[in-house]
Structure 1
Amino acid sequence: MPPRTRPTERQRRLGLELRKLRNRTGLSGDQAGSLLDADRTRISNIEAGRVDVARNRLYMLLRRYGCPHGPLFEELMAMAQETGRGWWGDFRDVVAPVGRDLAELEARSAGIRVHEPLFVPGLLQTADYARAVIAESEQDEHRVERFVEFRMARQRILAGVVTYRAIVHEAALHVQIGGPKVMRRQLLRLIEAARQPNVTVQVFPFEAGSYSSFSRSFGIFGGSVPELDTVHLEHPMDSVFLRDGDHIEEYAKMFERLSGLALPAVDPESTPESHESRDSLSLIQHVMYRM
């Protein structure tokens, strides 16, 4: 089978981790290839995610690369076994590969941290809100509905064990996407989502100070081991996945700084009279009732 031209994010990540391990041991591509009775081109294709590596051969490489038995070893073995065939494949007609990569990454994550400055995060959107957002850039009604279905399907992971933390700027609460009725339902959805024990929602208020260094939308996806954490940056024309440890640490610190400056998390079980100070719930309710 010829090398694939468009590896998935999972395939690229597996290859990247193998290259890191090989470089750490000081082995050349030729030396690694000899372990598989192959040439360095084969190793290069494996490390680029363009070809798969059989389970027994991956086991051999990991042992030779000095990767100890443990969570990382097992997760790399599992990544190689995954087919990538999930529900997201049903949306190939409208969703670009990078969007399907994101859905697969979400499905594999143990924890997700998201910061959104202008919109309600996709995993917390109502169908009407998502429809209004998507319709801004897509005119075909059928495609709009397919995109909405895709976004709603992504939200199923919140019913599982994944931990989800979202920091939303107050500006996103005021921008009336779809009109007042749609926004009221969307704000109520934020409160309802926060009732789930695995979901945390914080609002970054206008008065919290300078926001210029935090203006970028980003998501941090935690793997089963820290070495496999990934940062996702969304851009109008494309998305970027960051896999370097330094970048991930930088965004993790940024998220915690945002969390420290944001209002206390939504606690939908608290009573109004218990709010001794301003919190995310009271701000969301204030915006909602003024619409």
Structure 2
Amino acid sequence: MAPRSTPTARRLRIGTELRRLRERAGMTAVVAAHSLGTTQAQISNIEANRFGVSGERVRTLARIYGCGDDPFIDALADMAANRTRGWWEEYRDVLPSPLLDLAEMEHHATALRVAQVINIPGLLQTPDHARALFRELIPALRPPEIEHYVSYRIKRQAVLFRDNPVPYTAIIHEAALRMQFGGREVARAQLRNLVEAGGRRNITLRVIPFDGTSFPTAGQGLDYASGPVTALDTAALDTSHGNELIDAVGKLETYRLILDRMERTALQPDTSHDLINTIAKSI
């Protein structure tokens, strides 16, 4: 079997979880290979996702490693069986892979929570607002590249408006609401878009006001995607060098706690909507 093309972060996650199961079982790749009736190289290729792995093989390996968490095994096997290519693959040759991994993460999430301090969350941005942000990237993008980024960002928003929309909670600092990227008209339209989005049943907006009593983060953008089971959650950090996906158990717990504290600090949805409207009228 020929090696698969560069696997997505979701495909790599399967191998990562199988390696973690093996290591928790205190089993070497050599012993695992003997139990499976294959070679150490094959185990290494499975864990690196150089080759595809079937859902049935995932279940066999989990059994060899003594994993008794049936919901986790079922979810991991389903991930292995789902080989569909998403719309984001259309951008494979024109956008960085971490951006495509973010779209894939959002598409398969059972729930999404995001926190932003300076920027409006990407899934709630208008095309003009997004275009204004992409014009400021360093190194600078050419006009056709900017349009690729904008169209990609807008297509990502389908997860909020499809027939089975993902539950979405956005925690936004007041600073982001007062930034006027693209000018006053663009900023005003962006805030009106936020208010409209917040009226949907699957979308919850929470604003942290300037006079909030605490602020449990350094201001880094954070997206948190819930998986079918907590062990398959993923966090995405918005950094200056691109999106960084996190799946380490301890770090995921930390990010959940950060989001919980930010939600406790934020205004209730109704009050948040009132503040967004007030700011929109003042621009």
Cα displacement string for residues 46-93 of structure 1 (whole angstroms, at most 9, x for unaligned residues): 112222223433232122222337321221111112225110011123
**2:187: which partner in 1?**
183
- Over aligned residues, Cα RMSD in angstroms? 1.8
**Separation in 2 of the partners of 1:240 and 1:148?**
20
**Separation in 1 of the partners of 2:202 and 2:96?**
29
Cα displacement string for residues 231-252 of structure 1 (whole angstroms, at most 9, x for unaligned residues): 1112121321111111111111
Query: Is 1:196 aligned to residue 200 of structure 2?
Result: yes
**Separation in 1 of the partners of 2:84 and 2:102?**
12
Q: How much has 1:5 moved relative to structure 2?
A: 7.3
**1:270: which partner in 2?**
none
Query: Is 1:161 aligned to residue 149 of structure 2?
Result: no
2:123–2:157 Cα contact (<8 Å) kept: yes
Query: Scaled by the length of structure 1, what TM-score is found?
Result: 0.90
Among 119, 134, 151, the alignment partner of 1:149 is 151
**AA in 1 matched with 2:144:** H
2:215–2:265 Cα contact (<8 Å) kept: no
**Separation in 1 of the partners of 2:172 and 2:38?**
50
1:168–1:203 Cα contact (<8 Å) kept: yes
**Separation in 1 of the partners of 2:53 and 2:205?**
41
Instruction: Classify the secondary structure of the residue corresponding to 1:168.
Output: strand
**1:273: which partner in 2?**
none
Farther-moved stretch of structure 1 (206-215 vs 254-263): 206-215
1:208-223 equivalence runs, <5 A: 208-211=212-215, 213-223=217-227
**Separation in 1 of the partners of 2:150 and 2:169?**
22
Cα displacement string for residues 33-55 of structure 1 (whole angstroms, at most 9, x for unaligned residues): 12333222221221122222234
**2:9: which partner in 1?**
9
**Separation in 1 of the partners of 2:199 and 2:205?**
10
Among 260, 276, 279, the alignment partner of 1:284 is 276
**Separation in 2 of the partners of 1:136 and 1:84?**
34
Instruction: Classify the secondary structure of the residue corresponding to 1:30.
Output: helix
Query: Is 1:245 aligned to residue 249 of structure 2?
Result: yes
2:116–2:220 Cα contact (<8 Å) kept: yes
Q: Gapped runs of 5+ residues in structure 1?
A: 268-278
**1:133: which partner in 2?**
133
**Separation in 2 of the partners of 1:110 and 1:42?**
32
**1:120: which partner in 2?**
120
**1:39: which partner in 2?**
39
Query: Is 1:73 aligned to residue 65 of structure 2?
Result: no
**AA in 1 matched with 2:97:** P
Q: How much has 1:27 moved relative to structure 2?
A: 1.8
**1:88: which partner in 2?**
88
**Separation in 1 of the partners of 2:58 and 2:215?**
45
User: Is the alpha carbon distance of 1:67 and 1:282 closer, same or farther for their aligned partners in structure 2, counting shifts above 3 Å?
Assistant: same
1:214–1:254 Cα contact (<8 Å) kept: no
**AA in 1 matched with 2:173:** H
**1:19: which partner in 2?**
19
**AA in 1 matched with 2:112:** I
1:122–1:151 Cα contact (<8 Å) kept: yes
**Separation in 2 of the partners of 1:135 and 1:187?**
20
* Percentage of matched positions with identical amino acids: 38
**2:229: which partner in 1?**
225
Instruction: Classify the secondary structure of the residue corresponding to 2:217.
Output: helix
**1:60: which partner in 2?**
60
**Separation in 2 of the partners of 1:92 and 1:202?**
34
2:33–2:42 Cα contact (<8 Å) kept: yes
Aligned residues: 279
2:215–2:262 Cα contact (<8 Å) kept: no
